[in-house]
Amino acid sequence: MPTATINDIQMHYVDHGAGAPVLLVHGFPLDCTMWDPLIERLQDDCRLIAPDLRGYGKSTLGEIDPDAGVSMRQYADDLAGLLDAIGVDEPIVYCGFSMGGYIGWQFLEAHGERAGGLVMCDTRAAADGDEAREMRLKMARHVVEWGAGRVAEAMQPKLFAAHTLESRQELVAQTVAVITRTNPASIAAAQRGMAARPDMTALLPTLKLSAVGVVGEEDALTPPAEMEGMVVAMPSAELTMIPGAGHMTPVENPDAVAKALREFLERS
C-alpha cells in the first residue's frame, strides 16, 4: 500500500490505471475505499489516484488537528503535496465527493493551475447555516465520548436512497463499517474544518475549466436543486442526474457515475 510523507502526516493513497490523471477525493467520514466500484470500472480508461485524507483510512492525523480542526485548505494543500510527491505535473481532473468537493474549491483557489477539469459529486459551494454549524461543533465536542458508531448510526438514513436502505443492506453495511472504524478525533477535526469553511458560491462564475455536476436523484444531504444552481452559475458545466441513488452515488450507482466520468473525460 503506497504511503507518502506530506506536510506533517503520512498519507496513504491508491493509484490505478494509466493515462489522464483523475484525483478522487472522498467525503466525510469515509476513506478511499468509497471509490473502489468506480476504480474497477474506469481503470482501463484513465489513471485514478485516490488518497485517504488526513486522519481517514490509513492516513495519519496531525497532532494539533483534533482541537484546531483541519481547514478545507489544509486538506487541499495535502492533495497538492501528494501530486508533487508522486510526480504528477500534468493537469488532473479533480473529482470531489461531498466534503471532497468543499476541499475542491480550495484546491482550485490555491492550486488551480493543476486542474484541467472538475467533477462535483454530491456536493455544494455554500457554507453552512447557523444550525448546521452548531450541530457540527457539537459533534466535534462530543464524538470522542460518543464513539464513531453513533455517528454512523445517525448518518446512515441520510446517506442512501430509500430503496438502497430497504433492499441493499450489504452495501449500506460496508459504508457503516468504514464510518464506525474512523478515528473520532479525525471526525472532530473535519467537523471543525467544515463548520469554518467559507461560502464559495462567488467562485463559480469565475471558473473557466470544464466541469460536470453529478448528483443522486434522491440526495437528501446535497440535493439536486442545489447542484442545478451550481451548474447554471458556472460558465462551462453540465449536469448528470444519477437515478437510483441518494447521497452515495459512487457506491449506489457506480455504473451511471462511471459513464458520466467517461463521457466527461472524452469531451474535455
List of residues contacting ligand MLT (CB under 6 A) = 27-28, 98-99, 194, 221
Give strand ranges (E) for 52-146.
Answer: 92-97, 115-121
249: amino acid identity, one letter: T
Q: How far is the CB of 246 from ligand MLT (least distance, A)?
A: 11
Distance from C-alpha of 229 to C-alpha of 125, rounded to nearest angstrom: 10
The DSSP secondary structure of 192-244, one letter per residue, reads: HHHHTPPP-GGGGGG--SEEEEEEETT-SSS-HHHHHHHHHHSTTEEEEEETT
Closest approach of Cβ 259 to ligand MLT, in Å?
22
Nearer to ligand MLT, 34 or 212 (CB): 34
Q: Output the smallest distance, CB 175 to ligand MLT, in A.
A: 10
Comparing CB distances to ligand MLT, the nearer of 27 and 254 is 27
Torsion sign (Cα): 68, 72, 74, 79: positive
Instruction: Using DSSP, state whether 266 is helix, strand or coil.
Output: helix
Is the Cβ of residue 30 or residue 49 nearer to ligand MLT in the bound state? 30
Q: 46 or 99, CB closer to ligand MLT?
A: 99
- Other C-beta atoms lying within 10 Å of the C-beta of residue 232: 12
Q: Which residue is nearest to ligand MLT (CB)?
A: 27
Nearer to ligand MLT, 178 or 207 (CB): 178
Query: What is the closest distance, in whole angstroms, from the C-beta atom of residue 64 to ligand MLT in the complex?
Result: 22
Helix (H, G, I), strand (E, B) or coil at 180: helix
Q: Which is nearer to ligand MLT, 28 or 94 (CB)?
A: 28
- Looking only at the bridges linking them, the beta strands covering 237-242 and 21-25 are unpaired
Cell 448510526 locates to: 153
Least distance to ligand MLT, CB of residue 5, Å? 25
Q: How far is the CB of 266 from ligand MLT (least distance, A)?
A: 27
Compute the distance between CA of residue 23 and CA of residue 28 in angstroms, rounded to an integer. Answer: 16
